[in-house]
Structure 1
Amino acid sequence: MATDSEPGQIVIPEGYTLHTENTARVLLPPENQAFLNPVQEFNRDLSVACIRTWSELLNEEKEAKWRRNQERRAKQAERGPKAKRVKTEDAAKAAAPVTENTQEIASENATESEVPQPAAGPSAKKQPEGAVVQYQPYKSVILEALSASGLRSIRYAKEVPLVKYVIANDLSHSAVEAMKRNVEINGLGGQDASNDEPSDKRTNGTAKPQLGKVRVSEADACALMYNHRADKSRVDVVDLDPYGTAAPFIDAAVQCVNDGGLLCVTCTDLAILATVNYPEKCFSNYGGVPVKAEYCHEAALRLVLHTLSTSASRYGRYIQPLLSLSIDFYVRVFVRVFTVPNEVKKALSKTSTYYVCSGCQAFYEQPLGRVIENVHQPSGNVNLHFKAHTGPPVPNKCLECNSPLHVAGPMWSGPIHDTAFVGKVLDHVEASSNSYGTSARMKGMLTVAKEELGRPFYFTPSRIAGAFHCVCPSLDELASALLNAGHEVSRSHASAGSIKTTASYADVYDIMRCWIKNHPVRTDKIAPNSPAIHLLSKEPKTEANFKHHPKSVTSSSKVKILRYQSNPTPYWGPGKKAGSGPAPASGKRKRGGGDDDE
């Protein structure tokens, strides 16, 4: 691979094409040896923004911890000789049992090495007494287990400031060759050892570590991640973006990421996650059964989060979802992983199965566990007791329409977004709109995710009206009625025209029955055994108020923003799996998208 003598100029070999995305440039071969889907630019833009925001958050946490340690050392220095005498007296008690307080101090000292310290060496010893010690920002190590062309890794290295280096891995030899070529043309390859940082233990131990900003590895993804599961060799970010399911890589990923680190996971197998065509395959991959309802795409997210949670729990770790999105033909989740055994116990109460009505699609939640808090009055300490949950929440048929119920799950039932984190990502995107090619859609999607309620599942007015065989109320009218009744409402990022609410389906159906009083339904046109007859046979328990509410979801913004994706090309989707044949001009089948929505 040769380059021009002029800086920034690249000689493009015959048959190759130069693809530019933001700050990165990659050469694509004529045959489909290293797969690249241009439609996934939104995925890559969103990943850069989330990793950048997370790295700044982690750096703030590291700095706060470093400053606490500095203050502790300063206090010890102020005590001077007195502290030394106390230390001598305490030495006689060295054989005594270790208390909880001493364990905490030992733990703090043990993890102090993780906090960035000033550069050590001869120059550090020559610092004048009383010199101010400056905090050195913490830089993260990113591992992309399935890199293909390397475009994503290159963008991470160039666009995330607090990155030490990126490990770009792939098992395919042709993909590795493409990555090396692309790393070189972006100026991120190896450098002379004298001008770079010392080698890091988190590189692949099977070969001599490379010293570039992007370090290419040719290895099995799981084997590579298992080689990084020791505490000192863990990485800070793991990105899994496979063709199809990420399930085979999750166990290795949750072990090799640092405490407080970030997992970025993509699954494109929505034919398994978001339909009931292959429940046995969904169970084998994700440990749960999918949902057959209009909210199946959110259920797909919750099945993936359930898999991450159960995999992490095996190793005394728990997940904190930061952002979970259903996008086009795939799902993408960003979660932090922490090692706190007591928090692992709470995962039971954040996992549920659901009974889903086959007629009106109402759902009934069955949590697997519950947490009981007992407060010790003299001390104020809170003791947690974990119990199995009572159930079932419903008999064998739907309480509303008398239709059969289907079981779905178990799946994650806790929040799928961290509102504070999403707000920080949104602020970053708004301040750096020119840095992302899909910034308009990012702002729209993040805006909806920030406002989205944490409770499971959503509905659309058209689907509810279809169950009653009545005229459909507008989004504003139904949302206003819910708000006027004292319930909370929001939109869902997963579907255009959707509503999430704290109200139960029984409350929503009561509002619909009030709506029908002013918009009568011709029951003579409905079959006697139809679920709609059961829905219409009940009288509303309260009077609904459809007057416009100021917090109605349809008036949340006066500015038109792109919340739901339009079809980017005539034929698009996950595309064809990388192979030796020629690459298709676009995805393999046409997929429906959302619309430009206010």
Structure 2
Amino acid sequence: MSNAPPSPSPLIIPEGFTLHTENTSHILISSKDEAFLNPVQEFNRDLSVACIRTWSEQFDGEKEAKWGQAQERRARRERGGDRKGQKKMKGGVLPIHSDPLVDDSTTDGTRTEHATIESGPSAKGGLAAEDTTMADSTLGPSEGKLKTVGVVPHYHPYKFILLEALSATGLRSIRYAKEIPLVRYVIANDLSSSATAAMKRNIDLNGLGVPTEVKGTDSPQPSTAEEKSRTGSGKVRINEGDACALMYEHRSEKNRVDVVDLDPYGTAAPFIDAAVQCVNDGGLLCVTCTDLSVLATTNYPEKCYSNYGGIPVKAEYCHEAALRLVLNTISTSAGRYGRYIQPLLSLSIDFYVRIFVRIHSAPIEVKKAASKTATYYICAGCQSFYEQPLGRIIEKVHEKSGNVNHQFKTQVGPPVPQRCPECDSPFHVAGPMWSSDIHDHKFVSKVLDHLEEHQELYGTATRMKGMLTVAKEELDTPFYFTPSKIAGFFHSMCPPLDDVASALLHAGHQVSRSHACPGSLKTSGTRQDVHDVFRSWVKKHPVRMDKISEHSPARQLLSKEPRAEANFSRHPQSVTQSSKVKLVRYQQNPTPHWGPGTKADSGTKRKRDDEDAE
């Protein structure tokens, strides 16, 4: 029998509503603007479905591996004659769980099914063949003792719980429930009564109604067979309330959820502390921040500090710095509770950042967070940057045992004098921010593999493939640069991107593209190494010095000789995979005047207006 939700009845669009379809999901959008929806963020939702689905399969694989190890340990104990876990009974020995189909829930969320033999072919609690295999079980002589019960346990895939804290129309939750096979159910929350009304309407439209009560919801429970059929499989459950309060209710270990999705209008900063506490170990936290006017400019440094605990960067690589500021906020929030983050994918997309991190608990890893955090000195003239890590780790290997001991120390500094060694301009300080890896390249490869196999499931698959391919190849070092910007600092002609990449590769440095900016490069070399390439370029393509002001930083840059002559001949590794194939990496204008959109009316103001009109 199929467990798929029943097909919805033919769609009837009520007056005052328009139908919006995205992939297999349909929602009704009211002309009263009762809940916020930005169609441009279909890419965000597609990417989230692919990443959560890939994580869920990986998480389930980890659960299955642990379950298999537990079964092996149990088998070894039984072969060794260890009778622990059994209980004596008059007339024989039975397993602890002797009732038919008792779920033995393990700590990793899987189940082992046990069974006993009952007479007759229609014994209550009969087993499916794939669940257990019974060994030879017979009764003894006249005393009627049960000699043995043989059980072959079967692993059940782990079904996870997802909490979307700010659901608005419910489109994202509906898509998660319909498109991710291992979802047990989704908790869709919103503070606005008009938004929850819209969610209820859209969830019913897609046949995903709530058959059981979720704490805090006022939704009536289905009582008749017809109503149960209408509400469907109950994979989306509505909660109307404060997002932080809901997540704090799930912070105890037994109540935690497996995935939390934060997609607010603006900053996610107020929700991060609650979110990092309510995610299971190894669970996934998905965060969107659309306030790049705060994160990626120095117009509001005080606001950035109050939201994210760091100062933003004023440079062309400000969008990558925005990612690192948000990652540091998540890391420090998690560290307060003995938890640490593992970034899987961190993307700067259009007008927002989207981050996927796993949350784990391990005190030793929390201690390493300081060494993965740094402040940066950013040159106001040539945008050179110098990293100042906050901590350092000393590893000591024991000679006899080979054990590695870690010592955590403060870091020396500052890394530079008061003015830039390259152009003699002053610095501004940015951070602290995350300075370690922002992608897990193995995970990104798995998402790409999933996309190759299920390309038809995503409306923005072409762009997803492009951006994920660049992220897979991207170096983990901060930050990127564009040759055109560096050429502007030198007042020179701009060399081709491939020439710059080849020169850096010939000099022994690694090179990659960056997902965050068209025409950008990342390198393992320093900014001085990049400048040396341009100094060699200028020798072949001279600059008119009479056009450069005496006080221009360009004079300081050009006054230095390159430490080695750059080799601009084509390097075989200068063309990355993302450059070989014509990939759509950066958003084209989908509609006129596209962008973050306008925040929806919460419903409170409209209610007051209606009362005044009466």
Question: Which TM-score band (shorter chain)?
Answer: 0.7 to 0.9
- Within the candidate set 420, 424, 427, 1:402 is matched to 424
Query: Partner residue of 1:113?
Result: 107
Tell me, yes or no, if structure 1 residue 367 matches structure 2 residue 375.
no
Query: Partner residue of 1:153?
Result: 173
Query: Partner residue of 2:530?
Result: 508
Deviation at 1:206, TM superposition (A): 6.8
Whether the 8 Å contact between 2:189 and 2:241 is mirrored in structure 1 is yes
Alignment deviations for residues 408-440 of structure 1 (CA, whole Å, 9 cap, x no partner):
000000010000000000111111111000000
When residues 286 and 55 of structure 1 are mapped into structure 2, their CA distance, relative to the original with a 3 A threshold, is same
Deviation at 1:8, TM superposition (A): 4.0
Match for 2:111: what amino acid? Q
Whether the 8 Å contact between 1:444 and 1:563 is mirrored in structure 2 is yes
Whether the 8 Å contact between 1:489 and 1:553 is mirrored in structure 2 is no
Query: Partner residue of 1:324?
Result: 346
How far, CA to CA, are the matches of 1:447 and 1:131 in structure 2? 47
Whether the 8 Å contact between 1:319 and 1:337 is mirrored in structure 2 is yes
Query: Partner residue of 1:37?
Result: 38
Deviation at 1:133, TM superposition (A): 1.5
The secondary structure found in structure 2 opposite 1:553 is: coil
Residues 125-164 of structure 1 correspond to what in structure 2 (within 5 A)?
Answer: 128=134, 129-164=149-184
When residues 164 and 554 of structure 1 are mapped into structure 2, their CA distance, relative to the original with a 3 A threshold, is closer
How far, CA to CA, are the matches of 2:199 and 2:539 in structure 1? 65
Provide runs of 4+ in structure 1 moved above 2 Å.
5-8, 110-115, 118-132, 203-211, 553-559
How far, CA to CA, are the matches of 2:390 and 2:105 in structure 1? 35
How far, CA to CA, are the matches of 2:598 and 2:219 in structure 1? 35
Query: Partner residue of 1:50?
Result: 51
How far, CA to CA, are the matches of 2:283 and 2:375 in structure 1? 29
How far, CA to CA, are the matches of 2:590 and 2:218 in structure 1? 42
- Within the candidate set 365, 389, 414, 1:392 is matched to 414
Residues 413-432 of structure 1 correspond to what in structure 2 (within 5 A)?
Answer: 413-432=435-454
Alignment deviations for residues 511-547 of structure 1 (CA, whole Å, 9 cap, x no partner):
1111111101111111111101101111111011000
Tell me, yes or no, if structure 1 residue 62 matches structure 2 residue 52.
no
Tell me, yes or no, if structure 1 residue 383 matches structure 2 residue 377.
no
The secondary structure found in structure 2 opposite 1:307 is: helix
Whether the 8 Å contact between 2:133 and 2:152 is mirrored in structure 1 is no
How far, CA to CA, are the matches of 1:427 and 1:411 in structure 2? 31
- Within the candidate set 551, 566, 591, 1:569 is matched to 591
How far, CA to CA, are the matches of 1:393 and 1:224 in structure 2? 45
Match for 1:230: what amino acid? S
Residues 206-285 of structure 1 correspond to what in structure 2 (within 5 A)?
Answer: 212-285=234-307
Tell me, yes or no, if structure 1 residue 461 matches structure 2 residue 483.
yes
Whether the 8 Å contact between 2:114 and 2:151 is mirrored in structure 1 is no
Whether the 8 Å contact between 1:66 and 1:115 is mirrored in structure 2 is no
Deviation at 1:508, TM superposition (A): 0.8
How far, CA to CA, are the matches of 1:448 and 1:479 in structure 2? 15
Deviation at 1:112, TM superposition (A): 3.5
Alignment deviations for residues 526-577 of structure 1 (CA, whole Å, 9 cap, x no partner):
1111101101111111011000111113675432111111111110110000
Whether the 8 Å contact between 2:297 and 2:318 is mirrored in structure 1 is yes
How far, CA to CA, are the matches of 1:339 and 1:158 in structure 2? 31
Deviation at 1:84, TM superposition (A): 6.1
When residues 206 and 119 of structure 1 are mapped into structure 2, their CA distance, relative to the original with a 3 A threshold, is farther
Deviation at 1:477, TM superposition (A): 0.4
Whether the 8 Å contact between 1:468 and 1:532 is mirrored in structure 2 is yes
Query: Partner residue of 1:123?
Result: 125
When residues 177 and 119 of structure 1 are mapped into structure 2, their CA distance, relative to the original with a 3 A threshold, is farther
- Within the candidate set 570, 579, 582, 2:601 is matched to 579
Query: Partner residue of 1:204?
Result: 215
When residues 127 and 504 of structure 1 are mapped into structure 2, their CA distance, relative to the original with a 3 A threshold, is closer
How far, CA to CA, are the matches of 1:357 and 1:376 in structure 2? 43
Structure 2 length normalisation: TM-score? 0.86
The secondary structure found in structure 2 opposite 1:52 is: helix
When residues 29 and 153 of structure 1 are mapped into structure 2, their CA distance, relative to the original with a 3 A threshold, is same
Whether the 8 Å contact between 2:217 and 2:238 is mirrored in structure 1 is no
The secondary structure found in structure 2 opposite 1:118 is: strand
Alignment deviations for residues 94-131 of structure 1 (CA, whole Å, 9 cap, x no partner):
xxxxxxxxxxxxxxxx9932331035787389973334
Match for 1:538: what amino acid? K
Whether the 8 Å contact between 1:116 and 1:138 is mirrored in structure 2 is yes
Whether the 8 Å contact between 2:535 and 2:558 is mirrored in structure 1 is yes
Deviation at 1:7, TM superposition (A): 5.3
How far, CA to CA, are the matches of 1:205 and 1:257 in structure 2? 19
Q: How many residues align?
A: 545
Query: Partner residue of 2:499?
Result: 477
Residues 174-213 of structure 1 correspond to what in structure 2 (within 5 A)?
Answer: 174-191=194-211, 203-204=214-215, 212-213=234-235
Deviation at 1:324, TM superposition (A): 0.2
Match for 1:237: what amino acid? V
Q: Which has the larger radius of gyration?
A: 2
Query: Partner residue of 1:76?
Result: 77
24-33 or 118-127, which moves further after superposition? 118-127
When residues 6 and 16 of structure 1 are mapped into structure 2, their CA distance, relative to the original with a 3 A threshold, is same
The secondary structure found in structure 2 opposite 1:113 is: coil
State the superposition RMSD in angstroms.
2.3
When residues 52 and 554 of structure 1 are mapped into structure 2, their CA distance, relative to the original with a 3 A threshold, is closer
How far, CA to CA, are the matches of 1:547 and 1:253 in structure 2? 51
Whether the 8 Å contact between 1:31 and 1:580 is mirrored in structure 2 is no
Alignment deviations for residues 154-210 of structure 1 (CA, whole Å, 9 cap, x no partner):
00000000000000000000100110111111111134x7xxxxx8xxx53677997
- Within the candidate set 161, 167, 187, 1:167 is matched to 187
How far, CA to CA, are the matches of 1:440 and 1:34 in structure 2? 29
When residues 124 and 420 of structure 1 are mapped into structure 2, their CA distance, relative to the original with a 3 A threshold, is farther
Deviation at 1:237, TM superposition (A): 0.2
How far, CA to CA, are the matches of 1:6 and 1:570 in structure 2? 35
Whether the 8 Å contact between 2:379 and 2:420 is mirrored in structure 1 is yes
Query: Partner residue of 2:606?
Result: none
How far, CA to CA, are the matches of 1:554 and 1:340 in structure 2? 37
How far, CA to CA, are the matches of 1:132 and 1:412 in structure 2? 48
When residues 529 and 248 of structure 1 are mapped into structure 2, their CA distance, relative to the original with a 3 A threshold, is same
Match for 2:433: what amino acid? M
The secondary structure found in structure 2 opposite 1:114 is: coil
- Within the candidate set 474, 486, 492, 1:452 is matched to 474
Match for 1:164: what amino acid? R
When residues 216 and 205 of structure 1 are mapped into structure 2, their CA distance, relative to the original with a 3 A threshold, is closer
Structure 1 length normalisation: TM-score? 0.88
How far, CA to CA, are the matches of 1:111 and 1:352 in structure 2? 43
Whether the 8 Å contact between 1:306 and 1:410 is mirrored in structure 2 is yes
148-157 or 550-559, which moves further after superposition? 550-559
How far, CA to CA, are the matches of 1:64 and 1:326 in structure 2? 34
How far, CA to CA, are the matches of 1:119 and 1:239 in structure 2? 33
Whether the 8 Å contact between 1:476 and 1:554 is mirrored in structure 2 is no
Whether the 8 Å contact between 1:400 and 1:506 is mirrored in structure 2 is yes
